[in-house]
């Protein structure tokens, strides 16, 4: 399966030293549940591409705040995603100017490839979420919900 975005890793995980016999605390269970709940794997039956997004709060935001599926056309989201990805990749290549903790990995997105509706929908909504929560602007227009 091809991976167009291996990770958006904006979550810092802290590990601690524990003995093997110590029981798992409820805090660790909650942290693991948060990581699992905030990991979004985007794949589609339409193609063999996959996107993995690890960002606290994105899954809940997608379910509660984002526009519903079929609100935007695939063509609209592809056009916006192309702009967002171009600006994202520029920022990845300029870590001295842009926060390298926000822009960690380059995104390989071919505008001539049909990634399907689901992948474009979740990728578009991730960019909206990212811009709103991190107060960034990846395009010439105001991110809208």
Tell me the domain boundaries of the chain.
2-9+25-134
Q: Report the distance separating Cα 86 and Cα 80, nearest Å.
A: 10
Task: Please check the confidence at residue 48 and state whether its pLDDT lies above 50.
Answer: yes
pTM surpassing 0.75? Answer: no
Write out pLDDT tens, residues 81-129.
999 999 999 999 999 999 999 999 898 888 889 989 999 999 999 999 9
Average pLDDT over every residue of 39-57: 69
CA distances from 26 to 23, 32, 110 (A): 9, 10, 43
Q: Report the distance separating Cα 35 and Cα 30, nearest Å.
A: 9
């Amino acid at each position: 399966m091809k991976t167009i975005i291996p990770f958006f890793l904006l979550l810092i995980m802290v590990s601690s030293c524990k003995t093997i016999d110590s029981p798992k605390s409820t805090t660790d269970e909650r942290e693991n549940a948060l990581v699992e709940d905030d990991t979004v794997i985007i794949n589609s039956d339409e193609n063999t591409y996959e996107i993995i997004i690890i960002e606290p709060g994105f899954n809940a935001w997608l379910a509660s705040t984002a526009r519903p599926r079929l609100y935007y056309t695939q063509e609209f989201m592809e056009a916006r995603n192309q702009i967002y990805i171009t600006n994202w990749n520029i920022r990845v290549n300029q870590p001295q100017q842009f926060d390298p903790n926000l822009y960690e990995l380059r995104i390989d997105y071919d505008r001539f490839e049909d990634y399907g509706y689901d992948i474009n929908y979740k990728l578009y909504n991730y960019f909206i979420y990212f811009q709103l929560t991190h107060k960034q602007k990846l395009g010439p227009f105001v991110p809208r919900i």
